[in-house]
Amino acid sequence: MPLLKGGRKRAVIEVDELAARKVFPMLRPRVIVLTNLFRDQLDRYAEVESAASYLREGIEAVPGAVLCLNADDSLIAGLADGLPNKKIFYGFSEKASHNVRPDPGEEGTRCPRCGEALLFACSSYGHLGHWSCPSCGLSRPCADICVESISCGESGSDAEVSVFGEHYSAHVCAPADYNVYNAAAAVSGAAAAGCDAKAVLRSLGSFERGFGRMERFDVGAGALMILIKNPAGCDRALDYILGSRGDFGLIVCLNDLDADGCDVSWIWDAGFERLREAGERLKWVIASGRRADELATRLEYAGIPESRLKKEKSAHRLIAEAEAAEVPVYILPTYTAMMDMRRRLAKKTRRRGFWEG
């Protein structure tokens, strides 16, 4: 049970992955697509191993469901171990991975069957990669949907994808390799539902990015909103920002309402230190949201110079900063901050919600 500020105990809320064991038997899904397991807010999500066990319990109740699983994530692929469900695996080839070995202390680097430390031939990010157990022999399954190579640009990614042995070229209109993982997950889900692979791959190049997921707003010199809510997601957003060219400003907005997770300690596990790699390109950082004070402290510890760091709790003034900015701005909000900021920005840019057609 996570401990909150002041030593107060709070029961784990059964939402998200934790609800699987109750929701799966009720919905009886025909297809279940599982992407990855990374540490999330402790009070919403509990420990990664607990989330995996709840998912496994949910899956055991629906033996007829086709499982679409990320082969590169030992925690996800391990969920299928010994289960009778039909499985479709997706993942990156060795060439598409960055060949950076995960930190041995990282979650997901131990065998899901016997607990031995896994060996990695390559890794894309975090604990995702080509893993094998030297003790019991469990290893990454062969991927039915395999991303053979990726070329990521600022506006999208080009990928060579093999779908059950057939080779295709695809454009994914969302940048960053983690979105290519999401695309591969979508292709595997569509394949399980009997959709035509060519049509599904074509659709990856024509969807609109929305709801704070790499969503662009035409204000100031341009603003790009990337939702953050855990260290892994925040680190991927930082990867993308650091891989961009030119000067930029950064707004990080940390709320602590139920939908964000009340425990904001995860910001200490996110790699904000890497912002120093941007050097002079990083013109300014604004810490905002209900927990702007803690966030500003975190950013100070990360080495953001005091002269370039400020706090702004007013959402109204924050939007004014983005509008007045002379450099492109990246906005990294937690969930409820994203809802509020995108509503304000959408109103200014007369953008309709993507759900409004």
Which residues lie near Zn ion (CB under 5 A)? 111, 113-114, 116, 133, 135-136, 138
CA distance 346 to 282: 25
Residue 276: C-alpha distances to residues 38, 238, 327 (Å): 25, 11, 18
DSSP line for 120-153: EEEEEETTEEEEE-TTT--BPPPPSEEEEEEEE-
Q: Give the shortest CB-267-to-Zn ion separation in angstroms.
A: 33
Q: Give the shortest CB-35-to-Zn ion separation in angstroms.
A: 23
Beta carbon nearer to Zn ion, 135 or 155 = 135
CA distance 185 to 194: 14
Beta carbon nearer to Zn ion, 115 or 153 = 115
Cβ 216 vs Cβ 328: under 8 Å? no
Q: Give the shortest CB-340-to-Zn ion separation in angstroms.
A: 46
Beta carbon nearer to Zn ion, 114 or 324 = 114
Beta carbon nearer to Zn ion, 91 or 112 = 112
Beta carbon nearer to Zn ion, 74 or 230 = 74
Q: Give the shortest CB-327-to-Zn ion separation in angstroms.
A: 49
Q: Which residues contact 117 (CB under 8 A, 6 or more apart)?
A: 104, 109, 110, 111, 134
Q: Give the shortest CB-131-to-Zn ion separation in angstroms.
A: 10
Q: Give the shortest CB-109-to-Zn ion separation in angstroms.
A: 12
Beta carbon nearer to Zn ion, 132 or 265 = 132
Q: How many helices (H) and strands (E) does the chain have?
A: 10, 14
CA distance 257 to 251: 19
Beta carbon nearer to Zn ion, 48 or 195 = 48
Cβ 188 vs Cβ 295: under 8 Å? no
The H-assigned helical ranges of 193-277 are 197-203, 231-242
Q: Give the shortest CB-140-to-Zn ion separation in angstroms.
A: 12
CA distance 69 to 88: 6
- Bridge-partner residues for 330, per DSSP? 224, 250
CA distance 121 to 126: 14
Measuring CA to CA, which residue among 79, 97, 74 is closest to residue 17?
79
Q: Give the shortest CB-81-to-Zn ion separation in angstroms.
A: 10
Beta carbon nearer to Zn ion, 111 or 285 = 111
Cβ 108 vs Cβ 72: under 8 Å? no
